[in-house]
Amino acid sequence: MTPETAPKLAVIGCGGMSQNFATAIEPTMKVVATVDIDADRAQAAAACFEDAEPMTDWREALAVADAGMLVLPHHLHHEVGMGFLEAGKHVLMEKPLANTPAECRELIEAAQANDVILMIGYVLRYHPLVRRFVDAVRSGEIGEVFSVSIWTEQYTRYPSGHWTCDQARLGGGQFFSHGCHYVDLLLAMLGEPVEGSHLGTTIGTPWMEGEGTSHVTMRFRNGALGYHFGTWGARGTRLRYAMHAHGTEGMLEADLSTGRLILHQDNYEGAPHEVGHRQMTGEGAQQRLLMEIEPGKHTANEVSHFRDCVVHGRQPLTDGAASLQGLQVIWKLYEAERAGVVADLSGLSLPTHDLKPTVQSANRAVTTNR
Ligand SMILES: NC(=O)c1ccc[n+]([C@@H]2O[C@H](COP(=O)([O-])OP(=O)(O)OC[C@H]3O[C@@H](n4cnc5c(N)ncnc54)[C@H](O)[C@@H]3O)[C@@H](O)[C@H]2O)c1
């Protein structure tokens, strides 16, 4: 492919998430097929693109596409992914990669054997505000980071019988399905986890077989702590989608719902008891707006990174191996929760997952940075 090429893409699965890509793919890539077992959905999705053919069987798309974007129920990721990779097609797989370690490994090996790209759609890793947050944590901009906390409060309720309600098809509960974004982010920011615990509950989300609410805490090799609270049962929210990082020289506050990233730095002087007093009154506190962007998923950045990897043969930032590392952490945490112990997370690092530098191509933000 030449650097100007727009690879031909088939979108497989035209449900809820795929709609976030309606205006994010072209002209970076050319959508040639939209596939869904529901013909009306395939048809409606095709209408979003210049020249896409609606189809109801993903196998038909192999004849016309260079790559597949798989936006499918989790239990189908492995089967359809293998079909694409073994046909020599590149794959952008919605998270999580697959429902078992063996399935994940097969997908990673199939991509290697067929010399094609396998990228996981961890869209937050390409979100400009999150990238700025991650870079600030990694670079020491707020000193030595000792805690990163992430809250995601939402109400996610599908109709009874939907695949997300079922533990086998979802691959677990809310933690596996949604928390995988945040485990991936915590690992990207803080490095190697050494221990942790997850506790989940089904109270509040009776439509789900697995947990609908979870709290996870991890300690990292560098001593820092990472935390995620996620719920699909929020009947109200104050924190919405928020990320906080505390360092020895400041605190970062990201609000993904409003698209704002703020740096807090307090001028601590005097005796310790006075410091506490100043915190209470806010005296000496400084706040600086580091970035402000439009709220949203910013899926165009993810597609642009995938396209660059396909055209230039580059390894994606969110490749199969790095994604498997995060999923292994989740499986280990689930296992320890069942056993009633703290999970030993050491030794889960894979050689390809280190603190990679940010990828330039993913910084092409369609945003206003102030
Ligand atoms: N990153 C994010 O923010 C985010 C948000 C939501 C969902 N997701 C991910 O997107 C993926 C899809 O989730 P969703 O919410 O869109 O689900 P969904 O149920 O809304 O859509 C799935 C679609 O796949 C279709 N489908 C089922 N079997 C098929 C088959 N054999 N061939 C073709 N189409 C088939 C269904 O008819 C449906 O239209 C999952 O991996 C999910 O985790 C990501």
Q: pLDDT 10s per residue in the chain (370 long)? A: 776 789 999 999 999 999 999 999 999 999 999 999 999 999 999 999 999 999 999 999 999 999 999 999 999 999 999 999 999 999 999 999 999 999 999 999 999 999 999 999 999 999 999 999 999 999 999 999 999 999 999 999 999 999 999 999 999 999 999 999 999 999 999 999 999 999 999 999 999 999 999 999 999 999 999 999 999 999 999 999 999 999 999 999 999 999 999 999 976 555 555 555 555 555 567 899 999 999 999 999 999 999 999 999 999 999 999 999 999 999 999 999 999 999 999 988 654 444 343 333 333 332 222 2
How far does the centroid of ligand 1 lie from the alpha carbon of residue 254, in Å?
28
Question: Position 2: which residue type?
Answer: T
Query: Helix axis angle, 179-190 relative to 128-139, nearest 10°?
Result: 30
Helix (H, G, I), strand (E, B) or coil at 45: helix
How far does the centroid of ligand 1 lie from the alpha carbon of residue 15, in Å?
5
With b for 16 or more beta-carbon neighbours within 10 A and e for fewer, the 129-138 pattern comes to bbbbbbebbb
Q: Which residue has the CA at smallest separation from atom 6 of ligand 1?
A: 17
Count of domains for the chain = 1
In a domain, 327, yes or no: no
In a domain, 192, yes or no: yes
In a domain, 258, yes or no: yes
Whether ligand 1 lies within 6 angstroms of the CB of 40 is answered as no
How far does the centroid of ligand 1 lie from the alpha carbon of residue 145, in Å?
36
In a domain, 329, yes or no: no
In a domain, 154, yes or no: yes
The pair phi, psi for residue 150, each rounded to 5°, is -130, 135
- Which residues, in sequence order, are CB contacts of 336 under 8 Å at separation 6+? 196, 197, 198, 342, 343, 344
Residue 256 domain boundaries:
125-292
Look up the CATH number of the domain holding residue 177. Answer: 3.30.360.10
**DSSP H helix total and E strand total for the chain:** 11, 15
Which position has the token pair 């961890």? 122
Whole-number Cα distances in Å, 348 to 7, 185, 291, 343: 35, 15, 34, 12
